[in-house]
């Protein structure tokens, strides 16, 4: 019996645009919007709350760490819930949590309350992407998974652009929080029509343990798979969390006369990421390999990181262009999460995917303090400090990619003992 001919890219994308994929994509859009909002409105919001410039730096850092701590804790909690109670339980619970937290942020009058609300927002946001990618990976046929991850990521990452433009247009940080919370609650209505993953429903009927986070540390093979899934994404958060976030510092260190605006660095990086994530999914389908696609993207990123840190960039327009190119290169975020989803059995898939997504986001809790310390060493300075951390992250990323197994076309209907 002859197999049916492969779908064209356009036909495959049309077949991919199912309700679960569209809802996951819109969910990631709101996730990115809300996740970056504090970074964008940190200064005006804390200024209005009566803080001095010095206090804004210290208190702002503390509030940001509260948000990151929420992401770290939520990644584990939502992942376990996703395997124990179902993927949809996370998609509903997480969006309610972070939407209400963001609405409350729009009415805050105390920095202490602000910090705890960002913790709750981080806690809720931690469940969105991992649960969405897990559900998409399980409901789509194996030959369409790459297209699904491309749609989710490329649409979702535009949430950063929307957040930046919303702040610019409204000029009101409270209103931007209210808009973010409202978007989340509106999306909640769309999720009512989404059905649970069939693979999960089958496993839920079996006498098998689900959502046990501890088993990642009791089996060497499983533990190494988990670490490698994290490792391949390290370059992405080196670019986002350091090079783009501290773009103003690098601009000064490179001798660029025009002041570099960190918000614009983040904006151009995310525009590049949206294009890169769409490309990487299509590229992996063409290569029929997740590893090869990520390898090319990681190499592309490395070239522009070297250009960024080499001193060759001498003007603001070129600086922002390089940020966009680095963003394109790290546009394999959904792809590494798809690899994670494909690397673990159905009884651990949500736990692995959701926790890995947020563990990687939280690497900034280590990399930024390391950068702050290293740049005080006279022989290194700002450029040298970033170069050392970048070398470590890219080396770990390359090693993880070389050691991880290929998952393209892998059947996902299995459980782990």
Average pLDDT score over residue span 362-383: 86
Per-residue pLDDT reduced to its tens digit, 321-350: 999 999 999 999 888 888 999 999 888 888
Domain boundary assignment for the chain: 20-191+216-403
Q: Which of 208-212, 232-236, 280-284, 338-342 has the lowest mean pLDDT?
A: 208-212
Q: Is the Cβ–Cβ distance between 91 and 139 less than 8 Å?
A: no
Q: Is the Cβ–Cβ distance between 161 and 45 less than 8 Å?
A: no
Long-range contacts of range 321-325, CB-CB < 8 Å, 24 or more positions apart?
321/268, 323/243, 323/244, 323/247, 323/265, 323/268, 323/269, 323/272, 324/268, 324/269, 324/271, 324/272, 325/272, 325/300
Q: Which CATH architecture has domain 20-191+216-403?
A: Up-down Bundle (1.20)
- What is the pLDDT, as a whole number, of residue 235? 94
* Residue 295 pLDDT level (bands cut at 50, 70, 90): very high
Query: Where is pLDDT greater, at 299 or 134?
Result: 299
Nearest-angstrom CA–CA distance, 22 and 28: 10
Per-residue pLDDT reduced to its tens digit, 117-160: 999 999 999 888 888 888 888 888 888 888 888 888 888 888 88
Nearest-angstrom CA–CA distance, 274 and 277: 5
Average pLDDT score over residue span 17-35: 87
**Average of per-residue pLDDT values in the chain:** 87
Q: Which of 33-37, 53-57, 72-76 has the lowest mean pLDDT?
A: 53-57
Work out the angle at residue 257's Cα, subtended by the Cα atoms of residues 255 and 262, and round it to the nearest 5 degrees: 85
- What is the pLDDT, as a whole number, of residue 7? 59
Sign of the dihedral through C-alpha 146, 13, 358, 131: negative
- What is the pLDDT, as a whole number, of residue 4? 44
Q: Which helix (H) or strand (E) holds 92?
A: helix 87-105
Q: Is the pLDDT of residue 179 over 90?
A: yes
- What is the pLDDT, as a whole number, of residue 8? 64
Per-residue pLDDT reduced to its tens digit, 201-212: 887 777 778 878
């Amino acid at each position: 019996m002859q197999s049916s001919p492969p779908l064209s890219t356009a036909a495959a994308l049309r077949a991919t645009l199912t309700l679960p994929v569209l809802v996951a994509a819109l969910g990631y859009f709101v996730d990115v919007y809300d996740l970056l909002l504090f970074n964008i409105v940190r200064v005006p919001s804390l200024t209005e709350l009566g803080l001095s410039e010095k206090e804004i730096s210290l208190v702002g850092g503390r509030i940001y760490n509260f948000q990151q701590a929420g992401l770290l804790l939520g990644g584990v909690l939502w992942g376990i819930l996703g395997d124990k109670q179902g993927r949809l339980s996370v998609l509903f619970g997480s969006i309610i949590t972070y939407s209400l937290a963001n609405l409350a942020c729009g009415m805050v009058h105390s920095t202490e309350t602000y910090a705890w609300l960002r913790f709750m927002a981080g806690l809720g946001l931690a469940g969105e992407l991992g649960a969405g990618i897990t559900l998409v990976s399980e409901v789509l046929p194996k030959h369409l998974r790459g297209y699904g991850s491309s749609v989710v990521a490329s649409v979702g990452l535009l949430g950063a652009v929307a957040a930046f433009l919303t702040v610019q247009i409204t000029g009101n940080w409270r209103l931007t929080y209210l808009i973010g919370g409202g978007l989340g609650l509106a999306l909640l209505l769309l999720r009512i029509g989404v059905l649970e993953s069939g693979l999960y429903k089958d496993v839920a009927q079996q006498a098998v343990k689900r959502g046990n986070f501890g088993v990642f540390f009791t089996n060497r093979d499983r533990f190494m798979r988990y670490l490698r899934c994290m490792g391949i994404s390290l370059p992405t958060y080196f670019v986002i969390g350091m090079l783009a976030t501290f773009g103003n510092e690098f601009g000064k260190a490179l001798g660029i006369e025009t002041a570099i605006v960190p918000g614009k660095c983040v904006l151009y990086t995310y525009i590049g990421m949206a294009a890169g994530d769409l490309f990487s999914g299509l590229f992996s389908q063409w290569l029929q390999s997740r590893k090869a696609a990520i390898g090319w993207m990681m190499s592309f990123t490395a070239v522009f990181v070297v250009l960024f840190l080499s001193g060759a960039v001498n003007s603001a327009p070129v600086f922002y262009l390089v940020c966009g190119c680095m963003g394109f290169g790290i546009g394999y975020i959904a792809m590494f999460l798809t690899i994670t989803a494909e690397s673990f059995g159905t009884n651990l898939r949500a736990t692995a995917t959701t926790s890995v997504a947020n563990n990687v986001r939280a690497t900034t809790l280590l990399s930024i303090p390391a950068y702050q310390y290293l740049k005080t060493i006279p022989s290194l300075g700002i450029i040298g400090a970033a170069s050392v951390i970048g070398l470590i992250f890219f080396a770990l990323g390359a090693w993880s990619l070389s050691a991880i197994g290929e998952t393209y076309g892998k059947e996902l209907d299995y459980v782990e003992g």
